[in-house]
Structure 1
Amino acid sequence: MIWEGHPWPVDAAELAVGNSAVMAMTPQPVAHHALRALDGEVFLNKTGATNGFGSYVAMIPSERIGVVVLTNRNHPNPVRAEATLELINQVLEQADR
């Protein structure tokens, strides 16, 4: 399983590219990356789908928040990612009040 990571706060446009159909359905170059510590704030996410069902998992360890989205339809990955990011931002905004 490959998790995608972005610096937090994540750029919504960068997140959309990382979850696009092009990224999922076309060959991507493979490169060795040294393991790095999760110093600082990071947004981790993973998509999944099978037989018309869709899922999306996202977490921000430094904020102690994670979201799991399960759908009984295979909504496009960018839609799942955008909705999850919006939910996380709203929860964190409410927590700051």
Structure 2
Amino acid sequence: MRAKRTGLREYGALAAEYTSGFERRWLHTVDRDGETLLGSADIQSLADLGNAYAVIKEIRPLPFSRDTIMQLVMATLIPFTPLLFTLFSFEVILDRFIGIVF
């Protein structure tokens, strides 16, 4: 998580500096050297910087989440359900499931 904090701090500072320069150039000046915002590399760079910052914000301590684990467990257990119904009645399975959940 240190990498996330460092990345957010460094990219945050870079983004603040870049957006200040972007604002000065495109919002607070009249002289833009004949360049228009449409087609300017500045706007694409701003979007790229925002995307890079968003990726850093999504860094997690583990490469998988609780949802991923649940999907794996379900994908593993679902093929065994026909076997369960051959060994136990539906009522027994339902009673045990309710006992586990509640």
Normalised by the size of structure 1, how large is the TM-score? 0.28
TM-score (norm 2): 0.27
Q: Identify the structure with the greater strand proportion.
A: 1
Choose between structure 1 and 2: higher helix proportion.
2
